[in-house]
Amino acid sequence: MSTGNDTEVAGAEIGDASIESGANRYLGKPFELLTERERAVFRRLISRHAIAHDSTQSFYAKLTSSQRLADKVAEFGGSWAFIMLFGIVLAVWVAGNLLAATRAFDPYPFIFLNLILSMLAVVQAPVIMMSQNRHAAKDRVDAAHDYEVNLKAEIEIMALHDKLDELRNTDLKSLVAQQQEQIALLTKLMLGRPDQQEVSISGTGG
């Protein structure tokens, strides 16, 4: 009596055998040299499971709140809204201190403003770099997913060509067999006609 575990083991062995033969046939390298990603592609191909998915949604679903905040800061810091708002703040700051003259809280050459700008740059630059690194990681995830999809599609196309070639060879063999049967039948008919003629001649002579 076979159990469910035995069935799963047998299926895994069949899958590994198919992967090994497919690796040699379609990738030109043995099963041992396949990466885990390539083996996963073959397993999904054998089990007829889809491999395409929304990598962007799955990537952003794993982000923490601090990572999302860094993305928002980088998005706002690289927008025209930030540039215009920053320009307005600078203009108001400079104009207010110039008009205030002796009562200015940050008189020319605006040392406090330079300090604030330096602090803003020091804080903003790492945040933007964190966001850029995360986008680079997302690009690598997208590239890996595209590779899996393209590899699966390429293997399926080559397998389809093999099936078409097999069908064509089968049809050719069937046609050749039919032609041989027809030739054999015609040969029998041609060989049978002289006998019939001799029989008819001998019957007429009697």
pLDDT tens digits, residue range 58-101?
A: 788 888 888 888 888 888 888 899 899 989 999 999 998 888 87
- Segment 8-35 shows an average pLDDT of 65
The Cα–Cα gap between 165 and 150 comes to 22
- Provide the terminal-to-terminal Cα distance of the chain, rounded to the nearest Å: 79
**For residues 103, 104, 105 and 109, what is the CA-based torsion angle, rounded to 10 degrees?**
-140
Contact 33, 40 (CB under 8 A): no
* 205 token code pair: 């002579």
Q: Is the pTM of this model over 0.75?
A: no
pLDDT at 17 over 70: no
User: 118-153, pLDDT tens digit by residue?
Assistant: 998 898 888 888 888 888 888 888 888 888 888 888
